[in-house]
Amino acid sequence: MIGLIALLTILFGVAAGQTPRPRFEAFEVATVKVPDESFPGRYIRMESDHRFVERNYTLKGLIAAAYDLNPKTISGGPGWVNGDHFDIEAVTPGSVRPTHDEQMAMLRALLKERFGLAFHREKKEFSIYGLEVAKGGPKLKASASAEVPPTVGPGVVYPDRIVLPGRNATLGELASLLQRAILDRPVVDETGTMGRFDFDLAWAPDESQFGGDVPKASETAPSLPLFAAIQEQMGLRLEAKRGMVEALVVDKVEKPSGN
């Protein structure tokens, strides 16, 4: 019997008495609707261990989040793809909180099922930012615990200041968040720096960030602008250049099906 339990543990990663982790392939139930026009801002977050909520995103924004892309690298489809906004409320399987990657896998399934999304990928040249190690080397703090779930964000908005926390995060994960949610062009991790780090990046935002949803900081803001802050606080820099990145071209899409 002990040998059988050991074999099951090796095969399935679950010891006797433990609950296996759910397969986060699709939401159990989900509603898609037009948002309240009075709702300010937009967000995607887990509001409990099993309640996924998205507010006020366009379909292009949802595709960018689900497929980890900068919106500028998404093309094709009718005009409403970047004009109409949607809210999503969904229940995730089981009682275990899904990771960010698991949430996005379920969002991808919803986009295919409810919006009939079909696309192809191709390499295209864009204006990008290369995330590089600055002169003097990186100023990075190794993660305090490998057991902490890897996270970057969500950012906390203060008057004249944004604070972006990262825990047990790679620089690739930082670049990913910068390109899909903050900056106005793709970001490519070119640091060559491995490992996982903890940080709290603070800066004064401008109108080119967050799709214009966050007000520009005042001239008297105590924090540095993002490009200066990331160099001073992390020993990294964002270099503007041209580069080839993977783009997504929408081949087919339709208004969402009924809930």
Question: Long-range contacts for 149-155 (Cβ within 8 Å, ≥24 apart)?
Answer: 149/99, 150/99, 150/196, 151/100, 152/176, 152/177, 153/177, 153/181, 154/43, 154/45, 155/182
Query: Do 229 and 202 touch, CB atoms closer than 8 A?
Result: yes
Q: How confident is the model at residue 247 (pLDDT cuts 50, 70, 90)?
A: very high
The encoded tokens of residue 1 equal 């019997």
pLDDT at 218 over 80: yes
pLDDT at 71 over 50: yes
- pTM of the complete model: 0.79
The average confidence (pLDDT) of the chain is 87
More reliable by pLDDT, 145 or 112? 112
Torsion, Cα 186 191 193 196, to 10 degrees, reads -30
Percent of the chain with pLDDT over 70: 90
Task: Report pLDDT for 209.
Answer: 85
Task: Report pLDDT for 259.
Answer: 64
Instruction: Specify the DSSP class assigned to residue 138.
Output: -
Question: What are the boundaries of each domain within the chain?
Answer: 23-122+246-252, 126-244
CA dist 166 to 2, 13, 116, 196, 200, Å?
A: 41, 28, 34, 10, 6
Instruction: Specify the DSSP class assigned to residue 231.
Output: H
Task: Report pLDDT for 4.
Answer: 39
Q: Which of 122, 73, 121, 114 is nearest to 253 (CA)?
A: 114
More reliable by pLDDT, 172 or 16? 172
How confident is the model over 27-39, as pLDDT tens digits? Answer: 999 999 988 776 6
Q: How confident is the model at residue 213 (pLDDT cuts 50, 70, 90)?
A: confident
More reliable by pLDDT, 41 or 122? 122
Task: Report pLDDT for 148.
Answer: 78
Task: Report pLDDT for 3.
Answer: 44
Task: Report pLDDT for 39.
Answer: 66
